Structure 1
Amino acid sequence: MNQTLRCPKCEQGIAPADINIHLLIAKCQACGNVFNFEQQYSAPGTALQQIPKERAEISMPPGIEGYQLMNELNLRLTWRNRIHGFLAFFTVAWNLFLIPFILMIMASGDLEMLLFLSLHLLVGGSLIYWHIACLLNKTTLQITPQYILIEHGPIPVPFMRTQQISATAIRQLYVEEYVAGHTNGNPFYRFALKIRLASGQREQLLKNLRNADEGLYVEQQIERFLKIEDMAERGEIA
């Protein structure tokens, strides 16, 4: 039986043209209210449903390890393929440029001169730190029916915090492509794995993935483990 979607604010019916079944949002022309209607039509078999995707099986890409227990899925991603060739070259060149100046200052004994190089040393040290982290670090995902725990290590990196997300709140996972930076004026792209929660909020699980298959494989494995049907999402890669 068909059901009419109604605005929770003014109770007016919503025209089909004002309904986005992929994002589960709608706009009421009567009062202008934009709302998420997932809670109204969350039961299987109702008229308003997202469209399932058909995607070929994604094999485990290089750089990912995983194993599954009865009530737990574990995935581990190496950071080594996050190293960008130009940035690695720039890091080596930058620090080689600084070495003669550092040696001259050390030989002169006037260590206060290092203060004039402090900004350059900070940049060089930060770049070295990042590349060491990329060589040694791994991202670990522990997925259970209750939660997803994401940890990065062993070397701590700013803005890469430990996350724990309720698994029961996740409605969909999807992969997006984004511009990570520019080399000689040309953009280079990376991929991010994101989730949509029951509240409609979107969060990022993984970023800086060098190829799409890394994100798609993790998405595929988590959706299978948590029994989440793969649906189309706005902005995701095909």
Structure 2
Amino acid sequence: MSNQAKPNTLVPLPANLQTLYEREAFIIRRKWFSVAAVFLLFFGLIWNGFMVVWMTTALKNGAWAIAAFGSIHAGVGVFLAYFCAASFLNTTEIQVDPNYLRVEHSPVPWPGKKKIRVHTIQQLYSKKHVKHTKNGTNTSYRVFAVTDDNREHKLVTGLSEISQAHFIEHEIENVLGLEDLPVSGEHPKT
């Protein structure tokens, strides 16, 4: 980690991101909450309310086949509630210290925890992720690290704005003293 590294003042701090230094670590925190989480909460309440009525009625009347069919939808409801809790409560913390780059999501446990030795990191880059569904197209952005063994490590996903991805990329490169080199497939910088 470069001793002279300071946060990149040329890239403005995007919404939902916070930076700080704590002991020997540079930290970027990203809150997951968005307006979409409020919609998700209402949808989840309606979905799960319907499933409670469905399952109660089916079990009370001994309609085991209907209850079994409903259990699939109830499982979706449980995941929806868990995802909604994460959307309201979670923060992603990216921590860079002299030894490691760490990525953690909390307080609701979520996949994607990373721990990479900083001396192995060769480059960071941002990438656009487009997902096509029957309801339209969903675009988000991701940040990757490339290590000296040419492996790509997905650090952060689900960023709503490219400015968030570019900020994270630039700040970590700055702290690690890495030159911003082009990577095949990265989202162009504007």
TM, length-normalised to structure 2: 0.81
Tell me which structure has the larger Cα radius of gyration: 1
Q: Which amino acid aligns with 2:106?
A: G
Residue 130 of structure 1, aligned match among 59, 69, 83: 83
Q: Partner of 2:4 in structure 1? A: none
Structure 1 residues 189, 87: CA separation in 2 closer, same or farther (over 3 Å shift)?
Answer: farther
Name the CA distance, whole Å, in 1 between partners of 2:182 and 2:9: 14
Partners of 2:147 and 2:158 in 1: CA distance:
22
- Structure 2 unmatched ranges of 5 or more: 1-7
Match of 2:57 among 94, 104, 115: 104
Deviation of 1:178 after TM superposition, in Å, equals 1.0
Which letter does structure 2 place at the counterpart of 1:208?
G
* Structure 1 gaps, min length 5: 1-54
Q: Counterpart in 1 of 2:161? A: 211
- SS in structure 2 at match of 1:223: helix
Is 1:163 the counterpart of 2:117? The answer is no
Q: How far does residue 121 in structure 1 lie from its aligned partner after superposition?
A: 0.4
Secondary structure of 1:236's aligned partner: coil
Superposed CA offset, 1:149-184 (max 9, x none): 111111113xx1421101111111110001135252
2:5 corresponds to: none
Separation (CA, whole Å) in 2 of partners of 1:123 and 1:70: 42
Equivalent residue runs for 1:1-238 within 5 Å: 57-69=10-22, 71-81=24-34, 83=36, 90-105=43-58, 108=60, 110=62, 114-157=67-110, 160-182=111-133, 184=135, 186-238=136-188
- SS of equivalent residue, structure 1 residue 80: coil
Distance 1:117 1:92, change over 3 A: same
Shift of 1:82: 8.7
Q: 1:151 to 1:200 in 2, by over 3 A?
A: same
Structure 2 vs 1, CA of residues 56 and 70 (structure 1 numbering), >3 Å: closer, same or farther?
Answer: closer
**Which residue identity is paired with 2:107?**
P
CA distance in 2, matches of 1:177, 1:147: 26
What are the Cα deviations for residues 56-104 of structure 1, in whole angstroms up to 9, with x where unaligned?
Answer: 9221111111112463201111111394787666545533433432453
Which one scores higher on RCO, CA 8 angstroms, separation ≥ 6? 2
Q: Secondary structure of 2:150's match?
A: coil
Q: Secondary structure at the match of 2:34?
A: helix
The letter for the 2-side match of 1:95 is: N
Retained in 1: the 8 A contact 2:14–2:164?
yes
Superimposed CA distance per residue, residues 21-66 of structure 1 (whole angstroms, 9 cap, x where no aligned partner): xxxxxxxxxxxxxxxxxxxxxxxxxxxxxxxxxx992211111111
8 Å contact from structure 1 (residues 86, 183) kept in 2: no
Normalized per residue, the structure richer in helix is 2
